[in-house]
Structure 1
Amino acid sequence: MSEIVFGIHAVEVLLKRNSEAIQTIYVQHNRRDQRLHKLIKLAQSKNITVSQKSREELDELTAQRHQGVIAQCGNLNKTSYHEKHIPELLDSLQGQPFILILDGITDPHNLGACLRSADAAGVDMVIAPKDNAATITDVVRKVACGAAEAIPFISVTNLSRTMKLLQEKGIWIYGAAGEAKADIYQSDLTGPIAIVMGAEGDGMRRLTKETCDHLIKIPMAGEVSSLNVSVATGVTLFEVVRQRN
């Protein structure tokens, strides 16, 4: 099935990481700038057709803010895995596993931002439930800026069962919860680890929370009681990175 990726940075990263998935790149015919010129040269070096279209024609391909660049793609599921592949992925890792679990993130912008932070922090895979959660879409890819094509994203039928599988593999699971007594700076986040971030507003579901080995929180100094889930994800993941380094 044909899909699109839009936005200069997202298309540029796709060209570098998964160019074989791109069929054609459409660019706005009256746009002339250095970033676009660089992208066109990169596409041509990979023998990918670049066609010019009017702004109106590009708008017909997506209602999103495309920045005058859209890539028409074939198979973008290079990093999509079935849940049965989780043990195989874990066995293939060189170092200690670093996993992000998203429990019911429904906003595609938040999912994209979480994937971007996960890729930057060196997370090995992202796991999310199949039901009542956002999945990989063109909007998610745009926000993720290439991370959606770079990091394994696995939708699972039963999240608590998958978490127990990770625990059997020796992975400690830390769930982010506002009521936790220990904060992320007091907790030992080294070693094989999975971080669980809950849904916007509601947090983790009860069974997900009960399956965690530990609950942790981000200490808040101001009047605001919580952070946006994508911001909280970035803060927590990079505390893991800091402790590991």
Structure 2
Amino acid sequence: MARNRHSASPSHPRFWGRHAVEAALNNPERHIRRIWATREALAPYSIDKSIPVTIAEVTDLGRFVPNDAPHQGIIVEVDPLPDIWLADLLEQPDTDKRPLLILDQVTDPHNVGAILRSAAAFNALGIVTQDRHSPPESGALARAASGALEIVPWVRVTNLARALDEIAEADYWRIGLSGHAEETLAKTLGSGKTALVLGAEGEGLRQNTEAHCDQIAKLPISANIESLNVSNAAAVALYAAVEKLNAE
């Protein structure tokens, strides 16, 4: 007989794996609802007594996560992080030129998680997505982000075109990445604040999104492959933007 599985709800995601769990526990903005763990996995952490903790065997923990999820002996159920307003993210001094990432209907949680990880690695200002066409917080996304979900600001907006207008008003040069562009990214990067706009897996940027970019650019990849995965493209673009800043 198959064991009953206890599924997480979209409003109360479950995170697993050491990096995702440790980052959530260390984030004062993150509300932890409960924890399931082995004694060994729980030992390094000082858990607030108000958080319910269930001690379980490794084999039993599999009931609380998707099949084959590498939980590493500890699972936390959480509330999603509080909303962040775009205006608040853009309120920064003109000297803060960290790149901003805008994702146009990137829906795969593994890709968004990997993009968050790159955003943390290259000290991006944050990411902006459209609320209806981006994944919710989840265990898969948090694990792919490897802790970055807790430290990179993530703004969800209703209308991406309107958000791009607001970003332009904050003096960002909006560069959309597309394989059909004539100029390479390196040639379009300026000395001011940069917003990098990336499209969905396969479809790329929508026409209306391209229309709200100041320039369209491509990554100079070889003819051996048609395109990069969006998370790989984001990492390369962030590196190029940060290198441009460091060279000034």
TM range (shorter): 0.7 to 0.9
1:17 aligned to which of 15, 27, 43: 27
Residue equivalent to 2:123: 122
- Which residue in the other structure is 1:177 paired with? 178
TM-score (norm 2): 0.84
Task: Measure, in 2, the Cα distance between the counterparts of 1:189 and 1:136.
Answer: 33
Question: Could you tell me how far apart the structure 2 residues matched to 1:97 and 1:185 are?
Answer: 16
Matching of residues 48-59 of structure 1 within 5 Å: 51-59=54-62
Percent of pairs with identical residues: 31
Shift of the 62–189 alpha-carbon distance from structure 1 to 2, 3 Å rule, reads farther
Would the alpha carbon gap of residues 127 and 97 (structure 1) be closer, same or farther in structure 2, given more than 3 Å must change?
same
Aligned-residue offset at 1:14:
2.1
Cα 1:72–1:237, aligned 2, differ >3 Å: closer, same or farther?
same
Contact (CA 8 Å) 1:9, 1:145: kept in 2 or not?
A: yes
Structure with the higher helix share, 1 or 2: 1
Other-structure match for 1:193: 194
Q: TM-score, normalised by structure 1?
A: 0.85
Query: Per-residue deviation at 1:51?
Result: 4.1
> 1:45 offset after TM fit, Å?
6.9
- Secondary structure of the residue that 2:27 maps to in structure 1? helix
* Whole-angstrom CA distance in 1 between matches of 2:124 and 2:132: 23
- Give the structure 2 partner of residue 86 of structure 1: 86
Render the CA deviation track for 1:11-70: whole Å, top value 9, x for unaligned.
Answer: 1222333486234432235xx5xxx4xx632x2276667542123431111113322221
Q: How many residues align?
A: 232
Helix, strand or coil for the counterpart of 2:43? helix
Matched residue type, 1:66? H
Following the alignment from structure 1 to structure 2, what is the Cα–Cα distance between the partners of residues 194 and 20? 27
**What is residue 147 of structure 2 aligned with on the other side?**
146
1:189·1:240 contact (CA, 8 Å) conserved in 2?
Answer: no
Contact 1:99 1:126 survives alignment (8 Å): yes
- Cα separation, 1, equivalents of 2:72 and 2:190: 39
Q: What corresponds to 1:95 in structure 2?
A: 96
Larger displacement relative to structure 2 (204-213 or 3-12): 3-12
RMSD: 2.2
Kept in 2, the 8 Å contact 1:175–1:197? The answer is yes
Q: What residue in structure 2 maps to residue 44 of structure 1? A: 46
Q: Which 5+ residue runs of structure 2 have no aligned equivalent?
A: 1-10
CA distance in structure 1 between the partners assigned to 2:113 and 2:221 by the alignment: 24
Taking a change above 3 Å as real, the CA distance of residues 19 and 8 of structure 1, as seen in their structure-2 partners, is farther
4+ long deviations beyond 6 Å = none
3-state SS of 2:46 partner: helix
Cα distance in 2 for partners of 1:243, 1:17 equals 31
* Alpha-carbon separation, structure 2, partners of 1:144 and 1:14: 12
Measured in 2, the distance between the counterparts of 1:40 and 1:22 equals 17
Residues 20 and 221 of structure 1: CA distance in aligned 2, closer, same or farther (over 3 Å): closer
| Gap change, CA 1:45 and 1:192, over 3 Å in 2 | same
> In 2, distance between residues paired with 1:102 and 1:118?
12
Q: In 1, are the aligned partners of 2:98 and 2:123 still within 8 Å (CA)?
A: no
The change in CA–CA distance for 1:23 and 1:106 in structure 2 (over 3 A counts) is closer
